[in-house]
Every structure is written in structure tokens, then in C-alpha cells.
A = this chain, B = another copy of it.
Amino acid sequence: MVKNSGKSTENSLNERLAARGFRFTTQREHVYHVLMGHRDHPTAEQVFMRAKKGMPEISMATVYNCLGALTESGLVREVNVDPTAMRYCPNMEDHCHFYCDECGEVYDIDFDGSQPGVELPKGFQASAFELAIHGACPKCVKKQDLR
């Protein structure tokens, strides 16, 4: 994992936001660092709870605003794999997601060299794709086996 100094992170964050016409704010910086602090897939609510630890006055509306700005700036991915809520993923590398229908946990799954290639009909313009796999995660498979 590459480790950046705080300063360079701030600069690149500023630049990425500015490139999309967003302002650099302390809330966006904070939400960004909160997301980067865990390699998981929190809901907006979970981001809110974590963000409040270092910034108690932050509001849910601001969290949604920040998540939107970070997503549009390409710093974070929205992951629409959990039917109950949007998830946010700090891992921008090419990968897909496993959703455990038992416990609701989301896992990153690497593409082993072979991304899915689908030929779109004429006229369609793709901007992104998301491969979601549903099933049971190892923990839940074990629980089922014990029954």
C-alpha cells in the first residue's frame, strides 16, 4: 500500500474536487479520511457515525453531500449491492463485490485478470459497470453447516 503524507493527500483531494467544480471543505476532507480509514463498505449512516467522532457537529445532509462530491470526483465508489442502502467503497481498483444475503456483509472480490466483457448494442454509452455476487459468506456458510 502506498502511503501519502497528509499534505499531498490534501492537495490531491483539493485538485480532484476542484476539477469537478467542487470546493475543498473541512467536512469533505474529514469524510474522505473517514472512508479511507477502513477497507470496508459503510452505509451513509455508518460514515455519519464515524465522522461524528472527529467532527461532532457534522450533519447527515452534509455526509450525503460529501459522499456525492467524492463520488463524482472519482475518489470513492458507490456500491449498489445491498438492497437496503447504498454502500461506499474507498477501493478504486478494479474489483467486484460479494453481498452476503445472510448477514448483509459486503466483500471486495478481485478480478483474476479477466474482467467481464460484454458487447453493448449500438448507441449505448457505458460509464461504469458493477458486478455483484450474492450468496453466503464463509462465516455464514459455517453457521449453516452446524445446523
Contact = CB atoms under 8 A, between A and B. Distances in A.
Interface of A: 78, 80-81, 83, 86, 96, 98, 101, 107, 109, 111-112, 114-138, 141-142
B133 A120 contact: yes
Contacts of A81: 80
A138 B107 CA distance: 33
Nearest to A128: B134
A104 B115 CA distance: 25
Given A121-B138, A126-B134, A129-B133, 20 more contacts: A78-B83, A80-B81, A80-B132, A96-B118, A107-B124, A109-B121, A112-B118, A114-B117, A116-B116, A116-B117, A116-B131, A123-B138, A123-B141, A124-B135, A124-B136, A125-B136, A127-B135, A128-B135, A130-B131, A131-B132
Given A80-B80, A81-B80, A125 B119 contact: no
